[in-house]
Amino acid sequence: MDSTRIRSVEGIPLKIPFAKSFTMAAPHQATRNEVEVYLVRITTDDGVVGIGETQAWRRQGSSETLHGLHAKLQSMAAPALVGRSVLDIAPVMHALSEQLSGGLYLQAAVGDALYDAKARTLGLSVAQMLGGRCRDHIDVGIALGITGDAKAMIDAAERAVEQGYRHLRIKIGIDARKDLLGLQALRAHFDDRVVLRADANGSMRYGDALRLLRQLEPLDLDIVEQPLAAWDLEGMAALAAAVRIPLSADEAISDTHSLVDVASRRAARVIQTKSAKNGGIHSIAKLWTLAGALGIDIFPGNHPSTSLNVAAVAQLAASWPQPLLAGDFQTGLVDMLADDIVQVPVRVEGGRVHVPEGHGMGVALDEDKVRRYRVDVQ
Ligand SMILES: [Mg+2]
């Protein structure tokens, strides 16, 4: 009997509170108090366990709920997985993608669970399995939510800089005047000690974005992320041609087709990828390869997540021989979630994420924490 066969597939819905509520411009100036995490646990016949994480993070391009993810896992994904070998990731993920008609948020958790289980079966880390460990730590920045108050922003930024961060991504897009004043105050306070970037979460209209970005040009931002709606690639291209600040696409990037669309219109020079949004390691590796070939820079990101998803991005980034921008895929871990669900959290210090050691993703669930935050979605 093939001991690498998948014996069971379990979905685990969780609600993990934020340490403090968090506001961004879209959707609808939403303030969130918790993150909805969905885990997929795959067990093979020989008892190897692989775990993947996604989030039900409703925003542009995603309407996922814990209930919906769970229903799709149970009715569609799990029956297609049981009996297959965890060594056969490509055919299993190809079939799953067809079956889900996309469904990247669920694919992320299933695919990352397969990578975790396959690497553990082979006695390797995921980075080693992906091609080898090119780096032991990943440089990261941090994202700061909208406060509407320059003094509060400087205080938050000062705390981040004290922790060793040099790259500060500021959420903008609710009030252009306050955005300008806040970023001016940050640049005046820190001078060239920090790299400033901004993220509007697709909330601005073209004329407002053009005016604000022209005003921001003297502040030497390295990126403005998704100033316009995900669908407005013509607007993004016109904006990119009109201002000196490089634009990044986040909400506009889902699969490889969307990346080709963004690149062919010259709508962005940077892409942000996220585990859940972009379908986990299996799909993100394709996006990164394609971005590299298109001359587009890569910003490794994430929705706010636990150490499981931070480890997944860290493993992929560790296996990446080419340059990466200082993303902020660890933000949920260090600044946002009130708790973690692993035995030893991923180590983040001095503006660096340390790539976990050990087999698979290099992290193990804390079952007590999982029980504490588990919710019933039946
Ligand atoms: Mg973004």
Mean pLDDT by runs of 10 across the 378 residues of the chain is 92 93 61 90 98 88 89 96 98 94 95 98 98 96 84 93 96 93 96 97 96 98 98 98 98 97 98 97 98 98 96 98 96 86 96 97 98 93
- The pLDDT value recorded for residue 144 is 87
CA of 343 to the centre of ligand 1 (A): 29
Q: Tell me how far apart the alpha carbons of residues 34 and 14 are, in angstroms, rounded to a whole number.
A: 10
- The pLDDT value recorded for residue 308 is 98
Name residues whose C-beta falls within 8 Å of residue 148's C-beta, 6 or more positions apart in sequence: 174, 175, 178
For residue 133, CA distances in Å to 1, 52, 245 come to 33, 20, 33
CATH entry, 6-124+368-373, from 3.30.390.10, 3.30.365.10, 3.90.320.10, 3.30.300.30: 3.30.390.10
- The pLDDT value recorded for residue 102 is 84
Tokens 């929705």 found at = 303
Residue ranges, comma separated, of all CATH 3.20.20.120 domains in the chain are: 129-361
- The pLDDT value recorded for residue 33 is 85
CA of 349 to the centre of ligand 1 (A): 23
> Please, is 104 exposed, middle or buried when counting C-beta atoms within 10 Å of its C-beta (0-12, 13-18, 19+)?
buried
Q: Tell me how far apart the alpha carbons of residues 222 and 219 are, in angstroms, rounded to a whole number.
A: 9
CA of 171 to the centre of ligand 1 (A): 8
CA of 133 to the centre of ligand 1 (A): 28
Backbone angles phi, psi at 102, to 5 degrees: 100, -105
Q: Which CATH code fits 129-361? A: 3.20.20.120
Residue ranges, comma separated, of all CATH 3.30.390.10 domains in the chain are: 6-124+368-373
CA of 251 to the centre of ligand 1 (A): 7
State the pTM of this model. 0.95
CA of 177 to the centre of ligand 1 (A): 20
Residue 276: name the closest of 57, 50, 24 by CA.
Answer: 57
User: What count of residues does the chain have?
Assistant: 378
